[in-house]
A and B are shown apart, each in its own frame.
Chain A
């Protein structure tokens, strides 16, 4: 029997209702009316009760309104469930694991690490399609940059080439002006070794994003993340 059908349609004695104390019976009647489960007997009882205590109508209205409030808020709260899909499988990619390790290590720096995105270009194995970092740079350089050959360039020159080529192709947005100092070590000759992070904002267009989730044993799983297409009138 469906929950939304009256439970006592044949007007039989309702043992549950009869067993309960008056207050409980009143609660049960109100609840049955709200949930569409009231039988004709329930309605008769409700009317009889309301004839003696008109306040029961107010209770009914209040309870109905509260039910609607909770229903609406709950509906909003659990809407996120529609975006949670089953895991896509364990993340085995070494490069990805290294990136995850970096996030753990530099959690403060990577402020947006709460949602770590791993991407793929239609490749369910979650491998990075762009290859290693060196290959990516070489690819960009080979895509039309002229000037000093990569092998002959000083690191700073090669880096500049990468930035320029990246900006030209749309892959690089900019380098962040701040360089984060990780460690300083005084050396024997009186100089100081500084380890620091240079931050570059890159851009990619991807087919599918995955969120990394750790289970209780610390194993990584990739869970597909659904994004709603951006609406034109979003602002």
Chain B
């Protein structure tokens, strides 16, 4: 990130601000994806981040802190949306009386049923990793983000980022194996059920 461009944007240079946004919006989108509730609209949240960037850039003291500062804006907006969604879900669940019936695993199972393609399945699994792992994993999948830049944005040393990405990848592998086993078990149970049901 060019500090001169950040400094100019802080001083009110509109072109510099546009340039910053052009360079940042893809990784900001990845960070939002790592933290937003699944049903929230990415475009809406990105627009909120863009708006906050315009309104608050003048309050940024240190141009070197830009990436971490913008990341926190994105995370706060994504989390605020998460709280809204949780409140909406709770009130809906109270209405239909499903509060105890459906857990996170059921939601994941529903989503996986929809994600028929293997790549979608892997992507959804990556997004279900713990936040500390999924964020660097997603950011690393952006070709423009180096380990150093990810560390800069997350405020963590490069060695920590490297360790998290490596562990996150192992967790992803294990999660996918686990999901596959669960699906096979369910499939067998279904087949057995239909065999018993169809028996004379």
- In the complex, which residues 1-49 of chain A have their Cβ closer than 8 Å to any Cβ of chain B? 1-4, 7, 16, 20, 23-24, 27-28, 30-32, 34-35, 37
CB pair B166 A1 closer than 8 Å: no
A30 proximity list for chain B (CB < 8 A): 166, 169
Docked CA distance A32–B159 (Å): 12
A194 proximity list for chain B (CB < 8 A): none
A23, A27, A59, most chain B CB atoms within 10 A: A27
B50's partner among A4, A20, A85 (CB-CB below 8 A) is: A85
CB pair B123 A215 closer than 8 Å: no
B25 proximity list for chain A (CB < 8 A): 81-82, 84
Docked CA distance A223–B170 (Å): 41
A31's partner among B18, B118, B169 (CB-CB below 8 A) is: B169
- Verify if A213 is at the interface (C-beta below 8 Å from B): yes
CB pair B48 A70 closer than 8 Å: no
- Verify if A72 is at the interface (C-beta below 8 Å from B): yes
B167 proximity list for chain A (CB < 8 A): 24, 27
CB pair B43 A80 closer than 8 Å: yes
CB pair A81 B18 closer than 8 Å: no
Separation in Å of the B136 CB from the closest CB of chain A?
A: 11
B51's partner among A70, A78, A221 (CB-CB below 8 A) is: A221
| Known pairs A27-B169, A28-B166, A30-B169; A69 contacts B148 (CB<8 A) | no
A73's partner among B18, B80, B123, B150 (CB-CB below 8 A) is: B123
CB pair B162 A16 closer than 8 Å: yes
CB pair B163 A84 closer than 8 Å: no
| Residue ID in chain A nearest B31 by CB atoms | A78
Docked CA distance A7–B158 (Å): 11
CB pair A84 B46 closer than 8 Å: yes
CB pair B17 A86 closer than 8 Å: yes
CB pair A24 B166 closer than 8 Å: yes
CB pair A74 B170 closer than 8 Å: no
CB pair B33 A78 closer than 8 Å: yes
- Tally chain A residues at the interface, Cβ within 8 Å: 45
CB pair B123 A213 closer than 8 Å: no
| Known pairs A31-B165, A66-B173; A223 contacts B50 (CB<8 A) | yes
- Verify if B79 is at the interface (C-beta below 8 Å from A): no
CB pair A80 B29 closer than 8 Å: yes
Docked CA distance A142–B126 (Å): 62
CB pair B147 A28 closer than 8 Å: no
- Verify if B21 is at the interface (C-beta below 8 Å from A): yes
| Known pairs A3-B149, A78-B29; A84 contacts B118 (CB<8 A) | no
Docked CA distance A37–B123 (Å): 23
| Known pairs A81-B29, A85-B21; A69 contacts B50 (CB<8 A) | no
- Verify if A83 is at the interface (C-beta below 8 Å from B): yes
Docked CA distance A223–B145 (Å): 27
A63 proximity list for chain B (CB < 8 A): 169, 172-173
Q: Could you mark each residue 40-80 of chain B with 1 if its beta carbon is under 8 Å from any beta carbon of chain A, else 0?
A: 00111011101101110000000000000000000000001
26 A-B pairs within 8 Å (CB atoms) are namely A2-B146, A2-B148, A3-B149, A4-B146, A16-B159, A27-B169, A31-B162, A63-B169, A66-B126, A69-B123, A70-B119, A71-B143, A74-B33, A78-B26, A78-B33, A81-B26, A81-B28, A82-B26, A85-B50, A86-B54, A87-B47, A87-B50, A87-B51, A213-B47, A215-B48, A223-B50
